[in-house]
């Protein structure tokens, strides 16, 4: 059952504003809520899915995503969303929306890639993304991730909160880890990255990795950014993905250290998001994830 907050974010006015922009076959379909986030609300109408931007920043992300997946469609071992129909802001849709065909499948679970075939699929998909020439993408499609300003922002936003909750030893270790990140992450190989390639953005169909979604954060960055997201997989699965990835693309200098650096960046990004939006029920989990990286 949809919670009351979600019902408020998926209003009847929003639904009716979307219908004229849907393919004709889906205009009378009953809407079903897929996800309600701080940036976008996702609603399915039959064979289509609408992502309703809740902020201008999210709307900009939809535009970038449409440009990015247009280039990658058919070039990866798995499906990507699209083609997109971008809906301009208007009544019921103050920040606009993006509509695309519904991709069949269910979100991957953390243990799904224990199947060696799925682990190889993940590695092959990441390798194909990272081998895509950045020049193939239109201007404005890809963000550019400079790790130093990002680290400075994350330290500024999270350290005061962490200082009240971490032991002296853990604070010293955290400072050392951030210093390592400043040394290890800049001036490395730059490739096209998904930007948030964790298993929750991977769809499974018939026991296989079938689609990669949510390309709003696609960027030109260190491939270690996408590889760090694989550390969310359970057991030795992430090692199997990395081993196959290295077989396909080779191992660059300090790859393992860079992956560990971006693991800290990812968890700090999540914590900073929770702090900005006051999501207190997830604070303890975010803190434990940061602490787990300090051993």
Residues above pLDDT 90, as percent of the chain: 84
Rounded to whole angstroms, how far apart are CA atoms 273 and 279? 8
Q: Which two tokens stand for residue 63?
A: 């535009």
Of the listed ranges 112-116, 179-183, 259-263, the least confidently predicted one is 112-116
CATH 3.30.200.20: which residues of the chain? 4-102
Rounded to whole angstroms, how far apart are CA atoms 167 and 291? 10
Q: How far is CA 105 from CA 163, 181, 241, 283, in A?
A: 42, 36, 21, 30
Q: What is the mean pLDDT of the segment spanning 170-191?
A: 95
| Contact in structure between 237 and 229 (CB atoms under 8 Å) | no
Q: List, in sequence order, every beta strand (DSSP E) within the chain.
A: 31-36, 40-45, 48-53, 85-87, 97-101, 106-107, 143-144, 191-193, 202-205, 208-212, 219-221
Q: Specify the DSSP class assigned to residue 109.
A: P
CATH 3.90.1200.10: which residues of the chain? 112-292
**Stretch (H or E) spanning 179:** helix 168-184
| Contact in structure between 272 and 154 (CB atoms under 8 Å) | yes
Q: How far is CA 57 from CA 38, 224, 271, in A?
A: 11, 25, 19
Higher-confidence residue of 9 and 58: namely 58
Residue 23 reports pLDDT greater than 70? yes
Rounded to whole angstroms, how far apart are CA atoms 258 and 76? 25
Q: What is the pLDDT of residue 112?
A: 76
The residues near 72 (Cβ < 8 Å, ≥ 6 apart) are 80, 129, 132
End-to-end CA distance of the chain: 40
Mean pLDDT of the chain: 93
Domain 4-102 falls under CATH 3.30.1370.60:
no
Residues 163-174 as b/e (b if ≥16 CB within 10 A, e otherwise) read eeebeeeeeebb
Q: Is 153 helix (H, G, I), strand (E, B) or coil?
A: helix
Global pTM reads: 0.91
Q: What is the pLDDT of residue 264?
A: 98
Pairing of strands 143-144, 219-221: parallel
Residue 39 reports pLDDT greater than 70? yes
Other CB atoms closer than 10 Å to residue 226's CB: what's the count?
A: 27
Residues above pLDDT 70, as percent of the chain: 97
Of the listed ranges 19-23, 94-98, 103-107, 241-245, the least confidently predicted one is 103-107
* Confidence class for position 5, pLDDT limits 50, 70, 90: very low
Domain at 112-292, CATH class = alpha beta
φ/ψ (deg, to 5) at 34: -95, -45
List the one residue out of 52, 22, 49 whose CA is nearest residue 39: 52
């Amino acid at each position: 059952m949809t919670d009351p907050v979600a019902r408020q974010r998926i209003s009847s006015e929003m639904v009716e504003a979307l219908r004229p922009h849907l393919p004709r076959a889906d205009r009378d379909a009953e809407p079903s809520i897929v996800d309600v986030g701080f940036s976008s609300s996702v609603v399915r109408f039959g064979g289509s899915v609408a992502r309703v931007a809740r902020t201008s920043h999210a709307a900009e992300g939809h535009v970038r995503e449409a440009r990015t997946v247009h280039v990658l469609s058919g070039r990866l071992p798995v499906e990507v969303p699209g083609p997109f129909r971008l809906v301009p802001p208007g009544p019921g849709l103050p920040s606009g929306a993006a509509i695309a065909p519904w991709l069949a499948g269910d979100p991957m679970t953390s243990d799904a890639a224990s199947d060696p075939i799925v682990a190889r699929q993940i590695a092959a998909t990441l390798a194909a993304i990272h081998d895509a020439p950045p020049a193939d993408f239109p201007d404005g499609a890809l963000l550019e991730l400079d790790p130093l300003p990002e680290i400075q922002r994350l330290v500024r936003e999270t350290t005061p909160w962490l200082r009240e909750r971490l032991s002296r030893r853990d604070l010293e270790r955290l400072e050392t880890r951030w210093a390592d990140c400043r040394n290890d992450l800049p001036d490395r190989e730059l490739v096209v990255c998904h930007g948030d390639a964790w298993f929750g953005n991977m769809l499974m169909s018939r026991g296989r990795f079938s689609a990669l979604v949510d390309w709003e954060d696609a960027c030109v960055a260190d491939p270690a950014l996408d590889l760090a997201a694989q550390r969310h997989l359970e057991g030795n699965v992430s090692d199997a993905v990395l081993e196959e990835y290295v077989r396909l693309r080779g191992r660059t200098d300090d790859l393992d250290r860079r992956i560990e650096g971006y693991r800290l960046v990812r968890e700090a990004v999540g914590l900073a998001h929770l702090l900005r939006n006051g999501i207190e029920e997830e604070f303890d989990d975010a803190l434990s994830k940061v602490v787990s990286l300090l051993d």
